[in-house]
Amino acid sequence: MGSPITAQPKITPKNAAFDFRKYRPFAFAPKLTDRTWPDKVITKAPIWASVDLRDGNQALIDPMTIEQKMRFFKVLVEVGFKEIEIGFPSAAQVEFDFTRKLIEEGHVPEDVTLQVLVQAREHLIKRTFEALKGARRAIIHVYNSTSRVQRDKVYGKTKEEIKQIAIDGATLVQQYAAMYPETEWVFQYSPESFSQTETDFAVEVCEAVCEVWQPQSGQAVILNLPATVEASTPNVFADQVEYFCRHLSCRKDIIISLHTHNDRGCGVAAAELGIMAGADRIEGTLLGNGERTGNMDIMVTAMNLFSQGVDPELDFSNMSEIVQVVSECNNLPLHPRHPYVGELVFTAFSGSHQDAIKKSLDYNEKNTDITDNHWDVAYLPIDPAHIGRSYQDVVRINSQSGKGGVAYILQRNYGFNLPRWMQIDFSRVVQSQAEAAARELQNDEILHTFEQTYLQQSDYELLDYSVNNKAGAVQFSGQVKAHGEVINIEGTGNGPLSSFIDGLAKYTGSDLHIINYAEHAINPHHLNYDESEIDTDRENKTDANAAAYIQLNVDGNVFSGIGTCTSTVSAMLKGALSALAQAPTSTSA
């Protein structure tokens, strides 16, 4: 049985059970040499069908209560699902009762269609129709397994016998539907494990089902193609879908639906390629809960469309609330790196990423006239604000971080727009602090270090001063408290700063030169960000509205400092004292 095991392992695994020779290549790829799907682009959203309350629910450790199902159902409606598989009413009383509650209490909006699953067995079909009594419109989803392994090993049935189960199921569904004419019925059939079924056989079974249902005469029919267990690369699944669509005689009269699982981690990719290959509809769950590795994650697939400028026709703007309901009802935690919604997915810790994000955002802000208004920011596939995420998430600081990230935090949260040379100076301080702490630093810790390093140095304090312009030269005259002692500073230069530096040089006896200088008004609100994130409390506490950054050469060594004040001149003089205070020789006067 099976193919002979010939290949010899190149390494000897520590555990002999780790034996790849027990597996063989995927055997159900149809022969398709002129596939067309690779050239297709998805330009519109498929029909979405949520199976959270059925496939998702049946995979939970503790299946949902009626109350949880109701809470989840309301979120699905709010997100915009028009087709919702609410359960398997013949399988458990709670499933039956939930169906009745939705219908009897009128919870189903006019434009939403309920879907329920049932096996192709009469007593189950009968009970399912009872559960749906009174529904305005409903999709009755019947299935049986068609895969080789299920035929041979689970049911011990031939292909003909398996096809007959599908035909009998379809016939019963049709007969029972006729007993409830007040409901508009949509018939759905799934050849379960479609992707592990010979595609020709899947076509044959589905043709037989369509023979019964007669979609060409107007009966609404969905054929749903499940990758019940994902067992191939997504391109092979796309070939299967394209092959199926091409060989089905009634293709134009039916809706082709996909139902992918995630065993190889490609549930979303397979569904996307399957849509390119001709499918009209996708079943999946929010956040991908489902049997084993889960179902295809509809939220990710929809956001993938969104990020390509395609209307996903589902509203995820209120993502955090949706995620909260889903995780609470499923009682499953969310991985911090879950695409689009994980805690860390918009966060850059790495210095080069932070730098690139900051530069892109700054560029966009400064060039509103030339940028075309489309989102285009390095390392951020979408604007976090579009799904209600805060810019606080974007940059977080640990020992891997660099100057751009630290500068981003100071600019975005506290209004300090550090020039590059100042960023380099301060990022060294932050990096050693993060290394020493061996953990992430919070924004307020960074601000505290910034203030302690530059703004709260106690060696020098600017007291009174005056600057006069005499015959083209500026004269500085004032007092500075240096190491607790009030001293007079007199200097001359071509501006207030250079005359002050001249006076300081005389006082310290050091060789002092200005290398770099920058200043700006501190006004966090001029930044085009969400104001709710700005620390207004701190803003109210400070009366500084100018910041000046000075880089001094002190006896051949470079030191940087910052001053803040209500006046620009005082801010720059304080900045010079802050830089001087960094110099170890600054006390030598």
> What is the contact surface with ligand KIV in residues (CB under 6 A)?
55, 117, 143, 190, 192, 224, 226, 228, 259, 261
Residue 284 vs 493, nearer CB to ligand KIV: 284
| Contacted by 244, from ligand KIV, Zn ion, none: CB < 5 to 8 Å by type | none
Closest approach of Cβ 226 to Zn ion, in Å?
Answer: 6
| Contacted by 192, from ligand KIV, Zn ion, none: CB < 5 to 8 Å by type | ligand KIV
Alpha-carbon distance of 355 to 345, in angstroms, equals 17
Which residue, among 271, 277, 269, 265, has the nearest Cα to 226 in the 3D structure? Answer: 271
**CA–CA distances in Å: residue 500 to residues 199, 487, 491, 570:** 85, 13, 6, 11
Which residue, among 266, 247, 349, 284, has the nearest Cα to 51 in the 3D structure? Answer: 284
Burial of 309 (0-12, 13-18, 19+ CB in 10 A): exposed
Residue 47 · residue 65 · CB < 8 Å: no
Residue 48 vs 507, nearer CB to ligand KIV: 48
Closest approach of Cβ 269 to Zn ion, in Å?
Answer: 17
Closest approach of Cβ 143 to ligand KIV, in Å?
Answer: 5
| Contacted by 163, from Zn ion, ligand KIV, none: CB < 5 to 8 Å by type | none
Residue 56 vs 503, nearer CB to ligand KIV: 56
For the segment 48-107, give every residue that binds Zn ion (CB under 5 A). Answer: 55
* 3-class DSSP assignment, residue 408: helix
Closest approach of Cβ 190 to Zn ion, in Å?
Answer: 9
Closest approach of Cβ 151 to ligand KIV, in Å?
Answer: 15
| Contacted by 347, from ligand KIV, Zn ion, none: CB < 5 to 8 Å by type | none
Give start and end residues of each alpha helix (H) in 307-402: 319-330, 351-366
For the segment 211-250, give every residue that binds Zn ion (CB under 5 A). Answer: none
Closest approach of Cβ 76 to ligand KIV, in Å?
Answer: 17
Residue 143 vs 450, nearer CB to ligand KIV: 143
| Contacted by 190, from Zn ion, ligand KIV, none: CB < 5 to 8 Å by type | ligand KIV
Residue 55 vs 242, nearer CB to ligand KIV: 55
Contacts with 270 (C-beta within 8 Å, 6 or more apart), sequence order: 227, 230, 234, 237, 238, 258, 260, 296
Backbone angles phi, psi at 448, to 5 degrees: -60, -45
Residue 215 vs 267, nearer CB to Zn ion: 267
Which residue, among 419, 408, 417, 369, has the nearest Cα to 523 in the 3D structure? Answer: 417
Residue 89 vs 575, nearer CB to ligand KIV: 89
With b meaning 16 or more CB within 10 Å and e meaning fewer, what string describes 195-206?
Answer: bbbbbebbbbbb
Closest approach of Cβ 106 to Zn ion, in Å?
Answer: 29
Say how many residues make up the chain: 589
Closest approach of Cβ 73 to ligand KIV, in Å?
Answer: 19
Residue 210 vs 441, nearer CB to ligand KIV: 210
Site size with Zn ion, rule: CB under 5 A: 1
| Contacted by 586, from ligand KIV, Zn ion, none: CB < 5 to 8 Å by type | none
Which residue, among 416, 466, 450, has the nearest Cα to 573 in the 3D structure? Answer: 466
Residue 261 · residue 230 · CB < 8 Å: yes
Q: What residues make contact with Zn ion under the rule CB under 5 A?
A: 55
